[in-house]
Structure 1
Amino acid sequence: MTAPLLSARDISVRLGGRTIVDNASVTLSAGEFVALVGPNGAGKTTLLKSLAGLVPTFGTVEFEGQATASFKPRDRARHLAYLPQGHSFSWPLPAAEIVALGRYPHADPFSPVSDKDRAAVAHALDVTGTKDFADRIVTTLSGGERARVALARVLATQARVVLADEPIMSLDPRHQFVVMDVLRHAARAGNAVLAVIHDLALASRYATRVLVLERGRIVADDEPATALNAERIAEIFGVEVDMIRIGDAQVPLVTKPL
């Protein structure tokens, strides 16, 4: 059995005197697109940040068997790409230059741009559908366009593990599917993707596995149909759902609050 790309054991995070993530263990293997779901305030963003090494964390996080706490920031960024929610850009740079920042972990600031860098940026622009506005200043783009530029920057890093926090937030329905397709393709190409997804239907249709987080604890880690059954959704999210079949997936359709 192939060892996971990322393995986190007994992860706990305390912020402001409160336990936000409580003894969580996560594995991510090559080829997996894992959805992280849970109600607001469950600790999803904090768990993602802990895996990315962005908040003080108790427990162990390993990439290919090596503790990430021993990595230099540049090394960690080459292996683990983190996409925050919000997609805020402070610099008025062309979108293509923002995407090219994803190549920063691969060279020092004074190194010339390589053919590999150019190819990685071009591919990221292409798969995210951002090539048509690559020359536009990023601060002039719509929220949905900025979201896809942010994703392109992460993909340009070519990290084996992608940690994406609400990557389809602010996107119109079509581009939600585009981004989910991009993330699934990234996983099928041999990477591991963990994404916070609020849309339970899309999580069920796209994810190979679903983690359900409640009050900082992982209460389910299974294939989508099992992790997101009607009873658990009612208990965790306080909504009633009808389970419908779309293709090979059993998909929850929210019908009313409980």
Structure 2
Amino acid sequence: MKYLILLFVMALAAKNASAQNIPVLCYHQIYTGGNHKNDLLHISWEQLNNQLKTLADSGYHTILPDELLMYLTEKKTISPGSFIITFDDSHKEHFSIADSLLRRYGFRGVFFVMTVTIEKPGYMTAAQIKELAGHGHIVAAHTWDHPHLYTTGKMDWEKQLIHPRKVLEKITGKPVWYFAYPFGEWNDTIISYLKKNGYRAAFQLNGRRENTVYTIRRMMVDGRWSGTRLQQEMTRFNKGD
């Protein structure tokens, strides 16, 4: 009987996870000046500000991964307008620009950090990462050096999964429960190691939908989108498009 109950609970969690309709936004590099053009990997300070202001003015508000996980697995109620905002790859502008803009609009974000970059030119320092956590953001793991995972499934698990988590926990003084796959590439092997090593959930990009909290989908936000266009794309995401 206990086994049947366990199977039912697992099936219910899978069903809820497959119904993910909370937008999870993904940003990479933020720039100032004319060194880049807005695209899928780059967004100007002005454009990011415009997108966030539009969302705030329209009544959107951020939630954090713990809340998303309870929504997906326990059917906890999430209020309309909820979304998650994430930043990948540890760029220094995530602290110098994104943090201040998020706080301006009352948002909190998730920062997926590659630990190989800490203290290197162009990337965040340990002190900045600690300050992000102190501002109420979530600091999460993004491997040590961003390797490809999908084609081979081979990986130095200590180097890429376990050590980065320990480093970030030492810096922030807080547990690290969440992980983002480099390039959005994932497979059953890495999921098994994430579970084994205590990660609660993991985030991909716009890949295939799966009934698991270890393949939570994210929207790659195009830096060319206006705030209105971003809202439209988030609505499409809500509908499962």
Looking at secondary structure, tell me which structure has more strand per residue. Answer: 1
TM-score by length of 2: 0.35
Looking at secondary structure, tell me which structure has more helix per residue. Answer: 2
